[in-house]
Every structure is written in structure tokens, then in C-alpha cells.
Amino acid sequence: MAKVILPLSLFTASIFLSACDDKSTSEKKEDELKVHVSGDKIFYSGDISEPGFKRVKDLSNTNISTLVINSRGGDIVPGMKLGELVFDKKWSIQVQDYCFSSCSNYIFPAGKTKYLSKGSQLGWHGGATQQLNENIIPKDKNDRERFIVLLTELIETESNFFKKIKVNQLSTVYGQKAINHLAILKAHNINCKGWSYSVDGLSAFGINNIVLIDGEWAPSPSYENSCIHVFDNVVIQ
């Protein structure tokens, strides 16, 4: 299967987009990266980053079957690279407590089998095709043109990634496009930072082979005092 090309130049746009949510970059606290092997599993805890990807890749030649992850997200390009590694190695994914942003976008759906505990949280808030906040678009004409070129490349790279793993790219932005649910919630003073899906909703995007470790999946509908809107039914037009 063809390799998805991830140009280093895309990191610029990737970093802009990874910060494009309701919190500014300065307000975010970076989680300490911890990566280790136990048996046939790699345990990954922390933000999705290039150093994190490299540490997993360095361990990928060992007898690994599963990536066990806890991550609030991170940069888009390392997320796709790690997701592609998981897919190519035919590893399973196990979410311990939470898998948000680039973790849920690219790493979780790439797993051969996806393991969720009763309280495992998944959360999305956008991807390469997301609605952009005006404050992240450069004001300078030359910088803006360069940003648009990089963003166009990033969208194409993300599209190729999802074609490879056979998952609908719309999964990354559905909450922004589906009748603008988050805007409606915000209008009613319901502070949702992102969204998630039911098992049936995930299946609508091609995210299948989900195993519920505890026989049920009932994650908290909020994280750090912000709600996570759940789409039980997904309609793709």
C-alpha cells in the first residue's frame, strides 16, 4: 500500500491548526510525554508530537500488538504519522482514560481493533478542513498566501491518510458541519468544547472493530468542566 507523504513544511500549518480551538495555546498545559513497553504493548501518555512519534517508531520493531494511549491531542502531522504507523503495523488501539483531538482524529481510527473501557473518553474538535478562527490566519499578504499553500497541502495529506485507512474524513469536522450543533449549544450557554460519537456513529464513518472491554461504554459527557456533545446518530449526505 502506498506510503502517505508527510512533508516537513506541513508542520507550520499543522501547529496553527492544532491550536485552533476555544483555548489559546498559552492557556494549554503540555502533558509530560511517557512512552514505554510492557509485554506486547506500547504505552503512550502525553501530547501527540514528533518526539512521541519517534519514540514509538523506535520501539515498533519489537513484538508489539497494541498501542495503549492516553492523550489530549497535539499536532496534526505527528498524529497522522503515528496513525499510519499503527495502521501499517496492524496494531490494535486501547484507550485508557481519554483520546482527544489528533489522537481521536488519526490514531484511534487507524487501529485494527479498538478497545474502549467503560469510561474511556473520545473527543473531536476539528482537523485540516475545519472552520478557521480569523486570528490564526496571518495578516501579512505574503505570509497569508504561504499559509494557504501549506493548508492546501495539509488538507490533501489528510485526505490521502483517510483514504488509506478507509475512514471518512468528515469524522474530524462533523460536529462543526452537522447543522452547526456546537453553535446552537453555545447560544443556549452550554459550554461544549468538542464532540464525540456513539458506537453506531463511529461505524457510520467506517470506524469499526470496536471492543468494549467492560461490556459497555458510558464515558463522562464532560472533560475539565466542558461538555462533550455526543452524536448518537450520524447522517452523512
The CATH code of the domain at 10-231 is 3.90.226
Q: Return d(Cα 17, Cα 129) in angstroms, integer.
A: 10
The residues spanned by each domain of the chain are 10-231
Query: Residue 61 in contact with residue 88, Cβ under 8 Å?
Result: no
Amino acid 181: pLDDT: 55
pLDDT exceeds cutoff 70 at 7: no
> pLDDT digits over 172-191, tens only?
999 887 655 555 555 544 56
Amino acid 180: pLDDT: 55
Helix boundaries (H) for 96-204: 102, 141-165, 174-177, 181-187, 199-204
Counting residues of the chain whose pLDDT is more than 70, the rounded percentage is 81
Q: Return d(Cα 29, Cα 19) in angstroms, integer.
A: 12
Query: Residue 184 in contact with residue 129, Cβ under 8 Å?
Result: no
pLDDT exceeds cutoff 60 at 142: yes
pLDDT exceeds cutoff 50 at 22: no
C-alpha cell, 191 = 459550554
pLDDT exceeds cutoff 60 at 124: yes
Torsion of CA 168, 160, 69, 73, to 10 degrees: -90
Stretch 204-225: mean pLDDT, rounded? 96
pLDDT exceeds cutoff 60 at 47: yes
Stretch 13-23: mean pLDDT, rounded? 47
Stretch 200-229: mean pLDDT, rounded? 95
Mean pLDDT for all residues in the chain: 85
Query: Residue 112 in contact with residue 92, Cβ under 8 Å?
Result: yes
